[in-house]
Structure 1
Amino acid sequence: MPMAPPPDFDTLTIADIGRLAEADRLPPVERWHPDHCGPSDMRIARDGTWFHQGTPIGRPAMVRAFSRILRREPDGGYVLVTPVEKLDIEVEDAPFVAVELKVEGEGQNARLAFRLNTGDLVTASADHPLRFDEHDDGPRPYVHVRGAIGNGLEALIARSVYYELANLALSADCDTPGVWSAGTFFPIAPSPAGT
């Protein structure tokens, strides 16, 4: 059965986004433990482009289908997994990129929702925290998408979206620069890479 195209992010309210995310039934990849079958010859570039054998995958529906069977392993590696096979996939940074931001409310009542490059939707919260890492090329912000926090799947927040977050933090009346979403405060204070 073909997947429906993602809804138009601009027309959704945060409540709509929450309902859509809640209704999105992902395959139970955490329960699948088939034998490892080797490399997939696939790679996800830092900008979110998916490649197979060095060639970009141009069909968004194909990328979305693969993204739904992606899992992070306890050793930090990534795999594509089905009930019968498990294949390694190279991920240069994070497997997703948050490409759009929607903000509703202000201060402690704010809610921040992101649209990912795969069409998935996620609202920053205690279950989907934001984190900011410092790298040689500057800070990199991330939002947790799914799986265990600390070893699950994250989205790198696109630079333009990061600037929107920074503007929100600067306009807030807080001692520590940061943003609120779904009752949780996220300081915009980079930590060393990998922590």
Structure 2
Amino acid sequence: MPYEPPPHLASLTLSQIAAQVEARKLPPVEGWAPQQEGESNMRIAADGTWFHEGSPITREAMVRAFSGLLIRDADGAHFLISPFEKLSIEVEDAAFIATDMVVRDENGEPALAFRLNTDELVIAGPDHPILARGSAETPALYVGVRRGLDARLNRSTYQQLAEHALAVSSAKGGEDWTVSSMGESFRLKP
């Protein structure tokens, strides 16, 4: 069955985005208890490129498949998990990259939706917080994805969110760098 990428994020309503999120079927890794552990010889670079034994994985379908098996434990270590094996994977920064963002306002409630480099969609909110890390001079913004995994906002997505934050702040008469999505407020300064 050929892969059909989701429609362009800007063309979707919040309801359509939520339906796309709901339609994504992920493996039930939370219920798996593999007995074997090892090394995957894989790495996710800071720019979101996946590597195996030093060579980039160029097949996007492989990256999407592996991303559904990815978890992060309480100590911050990343693993690819199957019912039989738990293989460590090096992640330089974040497991995903947020490559686009839209602001939607339905029923008077703002929502911020992000597209990831794996074509997944995430709506920021209680289960998917926006996190500010780094320093005031070199901030980095992330959105929580699942299983302890985050997506770092790339430069253009960071700019989209900053422009939204400025618009919200100036409408309130200040510059507090806070945005809201799905009833939650997120501060964009570390």
TM-score, length of structure 2 as denominator length:
0.90
> Partner of 2:5 in structure 1?
6
Q: 1:7-56 CA deviation, whole Å, 9 max, x = no partner?
A: 12243222111111112221111221212431101000011000001111
> Partner of 1:193 in structure 2?
none
> Partner of 2:16 in structure 1?
16
Q: 1:71-98 CA deviation, whole Å, 9 max, x = no partner?
A: 1122210110000111110000110000
Q: 1:112-164 CA deviation, whole Å, 9 max, x = no partner?
A: 100000011000111111010025971110000012xxxx0110011111111
Q: Are 2:47 and 1:51 equivalent residues in the alignment?
A: no
Q: 1:91-113 CA deviation, whole Å, 9 max, x = no partner?
A: 0011000001111129x722110
What is the 5 A alignment of 1:33-182? 33-105=33-105, 109-135=109-135, 138-147=138-147, 152-172=148-168, 173-174=171-172, 175=174, 176-182=176-182
Runs of 4+ in structure 1 deviating by more than 6 angstroms, as ranges, are: none
> What is the DSSP-based 3-state SS (H/G/I as helix, E as strand, rest coil) of the residue aligned with 2:166?
helix
Could you say if the C-alpha distance between residues 136 and 177 of structure 1 is closer, same or farther in structure 2, counting changes exceeding 3 Å? closer
Contact 1:3 1:61 survives alignment (8 Å): no
Aligned-residue CA RMSD (Å): 1.8
Distance 2:185 2:75 in 1: 29
Amino acid at match of 2:103: V
Could you say if the C-alpha distance between residues 45 and 3 of structure 1 is closer, same or farther in structure 2, counting changes exceeding 3 Å? farther
Stretch moving more, 131-140 or 110-119 = 131-140
| Residue 183 (structure 1) shift | 1.8
Count of residues paired in the alignment? 184
Q: Percent identity?
A: 48
Contact 2:96 2:150 survives alignment (8 Å): yes
Distance 2:137 2:93 in 1: 13
Could you say if the C-alpha distance between residues 117 and 86 of structure 1 is closer, same or farther in structure 2, counting changes exceeding 3 Å? same
Distance 1:136 1:36 in 2: 43
Distance 1:3 1:17 in 2: 21
Contact 2:38 2:86 survives alignment (8 Å): yes
Could you say if the C-alpha distance between residues 36 and 136 of structure 1 is closer, same or farther in structure 2, counting changes exceeding 3 Å? farther
> Which 5+ residue runs of structure 1 have no aligned equivalent?
191-195
Distance 1:135 1:42 in 2: 29
> What is the DSSP-based 3-state SS (H/G/I as helix, E as strand, rest coil) of the residue aligned with 2:34?
coil
